[in-house]
């Protein structure tokens, strides 16, 4: 039932609309890091009609604030942060072309609706596996807002970065599906 | 009076922070391993396998276990026959914290609450530490440390119940908090419950309860039984590892109970993610 895909960014709508909640995806190519503060700035730029620091079309945004790299490493530990804090910004980014988000934890209905409307996917990565996930990032470069420190926007080159589809373009939610299978009602 | 050098404290604190950043304590590792063996959901089993592999990589390659290297939280018992030479104990703990976070390439995660500006270049790198002091008899300094991440802190809750709510009311409150939290605090989690005291005493007790060794049994037989009951109820929620659905949502429930006002039943629930980084040293 659950399928495994190997996808390279930027993602196309015909690819994202095939994915289903529970599918395993190994992502390769370029993804961009952004947390709360950077999301606010990106959405403000869109509102002002200004150019963004990266091309949103087909982009995958990773909710991560990495640890500082040790000498010789491209990046430190880099697992996902909790995604609900980006809920008020994500629909706008999906509307303007972004096709994927990587984080952990629940999203609100507006984000799920935007995934259906614009062909976006919410991927989950394993929270607290920052050492493991950081090793799948081969190159990292700050491209905007260096003053935000760990929250700066980074261009990340990843190879076979392991994620799971949580919210798909059909409105399914893996967290609800998984819990329903094991919840014992009293 | 025993004299302890300021720098001795700085170094001891620095060393436990460096160690905890990359080495998951044995109690947490063992509890996760047992959860992986017993978990019924194959998806959650795979998540637990990744979490254990992550711990192995972190230890072998000295990489932080998680990018959220937490705020540094300390419970410090200072013997009344101890004198610190060369500065204040609080300053020594803060200096050791900063040194440890910098030396181990851990993240600077403190910010000003409104502008959200990172405080690393103003107040200090991941400063100030959160320190709870107590004064006890003796000539040693006892330090319990934990790196407390934000995701599990965000779902923690405190309330004051009516005394009539009793144990059933406490169970319902805890169950609601963990159910609402779902995947967000990075399960499998440890649940610290502070009962009684005042509003803030319950909260501090719920934090301190998380420092107890996973798998240990509460010294109070009635509380040990209550912990078991809550654990079983919480694992019926079906949340599973990282919320993927499963039978192992909670690794342990730890209760600290205090006498309280005749009118009140304060209850606080503090949640610890699966990356339970803590240490206990005596100087």
Do B179 and B114 have their domain in common? no
Do B10 and B103 reside in the same domain of the chain?
A: yes
Residue of A126, A136, A166 to mutate, testing the B interface (most B Cβ within 10 Å of its Cβ) = A126
Residues of A with a known catalytic role: 39
Q: What is the pLDDT of residue B35?
A: 97
Please indicate, yes or no, whether residues B202 and B134 belong to a single structural domain of this protein: no
B58 domain-assigned = no
| B-contacting residues in A 97-156 (Cβ below 8 Å) | 104-106, 124, 126-135, 148-151
Q: Is position B142 within any domain?
A: yes
Burial B131-164 (b: 16+ CB within 10 A, else e): beeeeeeeeebbbbbbbbbbbbbebbbbbbbeee
Q: Which domains occur in chain A, in start order?
A: 4-182 (3.20.130.10)
CA–CA gap between residue B135 and residue B81 (Å, rounded):
10
Among B110, B132, B148, identify where a domain stops. Answer: B148
**Strand order across the beta sheet in which B265-272 lies:** B157-161, B265-272, B189-197, B250-260
Total domains in the fold of chain B: 2
DSSP H or E run through B4: strand B2-5
Q: Which residues contact B272 (CB under 8 A, 6 or more apart)?
A: B146, B148, B152, B189, B190, B191, B192, B210
The pLDDT confidence band at residue B282, using thresholds 50, 70 and 90, is very high
Q: What ipTM is given for this predicted complex?
A: 0.91
pLDDT at residue A147 in the model:
83
Q: Specify the DSSP element, H or E, that contains B267.
A: strand B265-272
B204 and B134 both lie in a single domain: no
The residue of chain A nearest to residue B243, with distances taken between CA atoms, is A175
Compute the distance between CA of residue B266 and CA of residue B238 in angstroms, rounded to an integer: 27
Q: Does A78 touch chain B (CB under 8 A)?
A: yes
Q: What is the pLDDT of residues B98-145, one digit of tens each?
A: 999 999 999 999 999 988 888 999 999 999 999 999 999 999 999 999
- A17 at B interface, C-beta within 8 A: no
- Asked if residue B171 and residue B103 are part of one domain, the reply reads no
**CA dist., res. B224 & res. A51, Å (int):** 59
Cα–Cα distance measured from residue A122 to residue A107, given in angstroms and rounded to the nearest whole number: 9
pLDDT for residue B30 = 97
Angle between helix B89-103 and helix B6-22 axes, rounded to 10 deg: 40
Q: Are residues B141 and B173 in the same domain?
A: no
pLDDT category at B155 given cuts 50, 70, 90 is: very high
Domain residue limits at B106: 2-20+65-148
In terms of domains, do B227 and B206 share one? yes
Has residue B276 got a pLDDT over 90? Answer: yes
Flag whether B247 is in a domain: yes
Contacts of A71 (CB under 8 A, 6+ apart): none
B81: closest CA of chain A, how far (Å): 40
Phi, psi (degrees; rounded to nearest 5) at B156: -75, 145
The per-residue pLDDT for B117 is: 84
pLDDT (tens digit per residue) in B25-75: 999 999 999 999 999 999 999 999 999 999 999 999 999 999 999 999 999
Would residue B252 count as lying in a domain? yes
- The answer to whether the Cβ–Cβ distance between B63 and A65 falls below 8 Å is no
Q: What is the pLDDT of residue A51?
A: 92
Q: What kind and span of H or E run contains B79?
A: strand B71-79
- The answer to the question of residue B212 being in a domain is yes
Is the same domain home to B85 and B216? no
Residues B141 and B242 in one domain: no
Pairing of strands B130-136, B157-161: unpaired
Q: Do A175 and B40 touch (CB under 8 A)?
A: no
Do B240 and B188 fall within a single domain? yes
User: Cα B36 to the chain's mean position, in Å?
Assistant: 21
What average pLDDT does the structure give for chain A? 94
pLDDT at residue number B185: 96
CATH number of the domain to which B185 belongs: 3.30.1330
Question: Are residues B67 and A69, on separate chains, in Cβ contact within 8 Å?
Answer: no
Indicate whether B156 and B97 sit together in one domain.
no
Residue A1 — pLDDT band, cuts 50, 70, 90? low
The predicted-structure confidence for B246-258, as pLDDT tens digits, reads as follows: 999 999 999 999 9
> Are A79 and B247 in contact (CB < 8 Å)?
no
How close is the nearest chain A Cα to the Cα of B252, in Å?
Answer: 18
Residue B166 CB-half CA count within 13 A: 2
Closest CA to B239 of A144, A183, A51: A183
B189 and B89 belong to one structural domain:
no
Cα torsion angle, A146, A151, A153, A158, sign: positive
Of the three residues B114, B148, B182, the one that is the final residue of a domain is B148
pLDDT at residue number B148: 96
Q: What is the pLDDT of residues A2-55, one digit of tens each?
A: 899 999 999 999 999 999 999 999 999 999 999 988 999 999 999 999 999 999
Kindly state whether residue B44 falls inside one of the protein's structural domains.
no
B30 part of a folded domain: no
Question: Tokens 């096709």 sit at which residue?
Answer: A99
Say if B130 falls within a structural domain: yes
Pick the last residue of a domain from B87, B118, B148.
B148
């Amino acid at each position: 039932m659950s399928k495994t895909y190997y996808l390279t960014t930027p993602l196309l709508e015909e690819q994202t609309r095939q994915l289903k909640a529970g599918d395993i995806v190994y992502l390769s190519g370029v993804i961009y890091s952004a947390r709360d503060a950077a999301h606010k700035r990106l959405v403000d730029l869109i509102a002002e009609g200004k150019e963004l620091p990266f091309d949103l079309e087909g982009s995958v945004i990773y909710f991560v604030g990495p640890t500082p790299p040790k000498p010789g490493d491209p990046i430190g530990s880099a697992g996902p942060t909790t995604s609900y804090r980006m809920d008020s910004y994500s629909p706008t980014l999906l509307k303007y072309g972004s096709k994927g988000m990587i984080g952990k934890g629940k999203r609100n209905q507006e984000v799920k609706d935007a995934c259906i409307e614009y062909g976006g996917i919410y991927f989950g990565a394993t929270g607290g596996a920052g050492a493991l996930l950081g090793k799948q990032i081969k190159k990292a470069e700050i491209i905007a807002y260096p003053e935000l420190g760990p929250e700066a926007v980074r261009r990340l080159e990843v190879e076979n970065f392991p994620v799971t589809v949580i919210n798909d373009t059909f409105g399914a939610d893996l967290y609800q599906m998984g819990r329903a299978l094991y919840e014992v009602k009293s | 009076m025993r004299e302890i050098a300021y720098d001795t404290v700085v170094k001891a604190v620095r060393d436990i922070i460096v160690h905890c950043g990359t080495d998951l304590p044995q109690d947490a590792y063992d509890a996760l391993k047992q959860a992986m063996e017993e978990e019924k959901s194959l998806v959650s089993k795979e998540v637990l396998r990744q979490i254990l592999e992550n711990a192995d990589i972190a230890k072998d390659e000295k990489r932080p276990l998680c990018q959220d290297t937490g705020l540094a939280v300390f419970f410090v018992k200072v013997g009344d026959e101890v004198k610190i030479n060369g500065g204040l104990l609080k300053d020594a703990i803060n200096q050791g914290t900063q040194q440890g976070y910098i030396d181990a390439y851990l993240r600077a995660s403190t910010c000003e609450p409104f502008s959200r500006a990172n405080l690393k270049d103003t107040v200090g790198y991941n400063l100030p530490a959160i320190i709870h002091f107590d004064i006890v008899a003796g000539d040693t300094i006892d330090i319990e440390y934990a790196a407390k991440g934000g995701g599990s802190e965000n779902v923690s809750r405190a309330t004051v119940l009516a005394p009539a709510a009793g144990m059933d009311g406490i169970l319902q409150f805890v169950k609601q908090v963990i159910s609402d939290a779902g995947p967000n605090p990075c399960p499998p989690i440890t649940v610290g419950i502070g009962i009684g005291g005042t509003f803030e005493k319950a909260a501090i007790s719920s934090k301190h309860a998380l420092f107890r060794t996973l798998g240990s049994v509460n010294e109070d037989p009635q509380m040990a039984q209550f912990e078991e009951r809550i654990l079983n109820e919480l694992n019926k929620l079906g949340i599973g590892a990282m919320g993927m659905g499963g039978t192992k949502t909670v690794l342990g429930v730890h209760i600290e109970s205090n006498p309280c006002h005749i009118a009140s039943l304060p209850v606080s629930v503090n949640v610890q993610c699966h990356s339970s980084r803590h240490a206990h040293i005596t100087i």
